[in-house]
Chain A
Amino acid sequence: MSYTAEHNEAIREQARDWVLELSSGDVTRDELQAFQAWIEADQRHKRAFNESQRVWDGLSEVSFVDRELSAESLLERYAARREYIGLRQWLKGRFKPVVWTGGAVVAGALVAVFLLLDVFTTQPVSQAELFTTRTAEIRDIELDDGSVITLGTKSGMIVDFDEHQRRIQLVNGEAFFDVSKDPERPFVVDFRGTEIRVLGTRFDVREGAAQLRITVLDGLIEVAPEIKSSTTRLSAGQQVKVLSTGEMTAVGSVTGDKPGDWRLGRLFYEGEYLREVIADANRYHEEKIILMPPSLGDLKVTASFDTERIDQMLNTLQLALPIEVSRLKGGTAILIKQAIE
């Protein structure tokens, strides 16, 4: 493709983006202004936009298959997928505060998850495939395009490939991506609205207590958090965190363990919040670890630990930080503030 043709294609792509943003139902004043600036920047922008908009307008004049169906019956086709994701979020919200009250409830809920997974994977609507791991299980998944994803412990993702895009929806947990190059089919990782776009590279995505951490081992990726329309580029050795508020930290060098090193069974933290360390530990540990009060999570930790020896890690933390570990009968460990002697 010549430079001009490529450039024109890029403009058409932006034009399409704007047509859809204006139609999205949640465009903001700032975005309208950005749109105006974009249109006024170049005559070709306006032309490309008008062409796209014309087709978009045309769509409301033609007859569709299924036009007679109600919105509800269309949505019904996606019910299984929605329920799986909804249930995950429900479990998350539900079991955080009351986790030590009973194993039976948790077991029941897990059975329900697996039943739903069954429904989900047999849905004809999409060829999407779901992969999950249990506590302390790590799994390599080889995909048709040659990419390999290492799915971390207690994690879940949906692989959704078609001829235009390789889309991964990381539902929870952590995954390391070794992506094959395919410029025709971008590789996109979506974690609750934050999108990471890739051509070919190795990088890591880790869900924490209050943040999403993205680190790059090599190559180049683009991160687009849900609340911002602009994207940020990350290259080898860099990391960025997306906070639960949707804000993104500035790009920095990787701190703590090297991207993907957790696959070797060791985690390393450098000045990390205790809450994030515990969130990770909880994914490797059958019995729940709780911070009491939660503000203990503000303590900063520099430490390294073996993912198979979380108990030992708790002992180390006890020595390094003003905290004490006490254990409930069910095995739940509670970290409390050390009493002043």
Chain B
Amino acid sequence: MEKPFSGLISDLYKKHWQELCSYLRSRYGDGPPEPEDIAQSTFAKLSELDTLSQIDNPKAFLFRTARNLLIDQFRRRVTGEKYLVREAEYAEASGLSAVSGPEHVLMSREELTMLESALQGLDQRERDFLLLHRLHNLGFTEIGRRVGMSRNGVKAIIKRALEKCEKAVNQQ
């Protein structure tokens, strides 16, 4: 059942629903995933956030969240990932062992520990760019603009960081 949207959310909803749907449609077509479905899930997701009122530019945040959701869903459909990850997350949160499809197992505690130590071994710049992208949600172009580098230069550095992390996790 959907929760009723309140305050800021319903305000955003009234003002930007149409625009959001046509933005998604013009950028990524009719789907699947359908723009309306994505818009709906986006608002559902936003309504679960406690920090929404502290966000500087809620409209930009709304559009970015929707775009990310769309790309996530597209990716899951194409790779056959479906919602297994979600189930696995749920299982882990409730203290059960994570059970999911053979190709989509969440990282174990052990692997996460390895990943953490791999992060220690990164160059400062690799770590900084990862943080800016993964934690602060800046896109490659934006990071490039802010540090005086091209988008592809930023991507190359983050890619190298990802490669190091993969090697650390898969080494055993």
Contact = CB atoms under 8 A, between A and B. Distances in A.
A51 interface: yes
A84 B148 contact: yes
A59 B64 contact: no
A69 B140 CA distance: 19
B152 A226 contact: yes
Interface string A12-46: 10001101101111111100100110011000001
Interface stretch (A70-78, A305-313, A322-330): A70-78
Contact of A20 (B132, B142, B162): B162
Interface string A67-97: 1011100110110011111100000000000
Given A29-B29, A78-B148, A52 B166 contact: yes
B139 to A, nearest CB: 2
Contact of A162 (B103, B123, B149, B166): B123
B148 A36 contact: no
Contacts of B28: 29, 32
A46 B64 contact: no
A26 B140 contact: yes
Contacts of A77: 124, 128
Interface residues of B, number: 61
A125 interface: yes
Interface stretch (A139-147, A186-194, A249-257): A186-194
A164 B137 CA distance: 26
B172 to A, nearest CB: 14
Nearest to A66: B131
B160 A165 contact: yes
**Most A-side CB within 10 Å, residue of B28, B103, B132, B162:** B162
A184 interface: no
Contact of A65 (B103, B104, B119, B156): B119
Nearest to A25: B139
Number of contact residues on A: which range applies? 35 or more
A71 B146 CA distance: 10
A55 to B, nearest CB: 5
B71 A27 contact: yes
A50 interface: yes
Contacts, number: 166
B77 to A, nearest CB: 9
B119 A62 contact: yes
B141 interface: yes
Given A56-B162, A64-B130, A66-B131, A82 B148 contact: yes
Contacts of A23: 71, 133
B48 interface: no
B160 A58 contact: no
A125 B125 contact: yes
B112 A17 contact: no
Contacts of A71: 132, 136, 138
Given A20-B162, A55-B169, A81 B148 contact: yes
Contacts of B156: 165, 167, 188
A17 B159 contact: yes
A54 interface: yes
**Most B-side CB within 10 Å, residue of A62, A75, A169:** A62
Interface in B47-66: 64
B159 A61 contact: no
B151 interface: yes
A54 B84 CA distance: 12
Contacts of A78: 128, 146-148
B75 interface: yes
A126 interface: yes
7 contacts: A29-B27, A32-B28, A35-B78, A39-B78, A81-B148, A86-B148, A190-B153
Interface of B: 27-29, 64, 67, 71, 74-75, 78-81, 85, 103-107, 111-112, 115-116, 119-120, 123-125, 127-128, 130-142, 146-153, 155-156, 158-160, 162-163, 165-166, 169-170
Given A23-B71, A62-B119, A66-B127, 17 more contacts: A16-B163, A20-B159, A24-B140, A25-B138, A35-B75, A36-B74, A46-B80, A50-B104, A61-B107, A61-B112, A63-B116, A70-B136, A77-B124, A81-B149, A190-B150, A195-B150, A226-B150
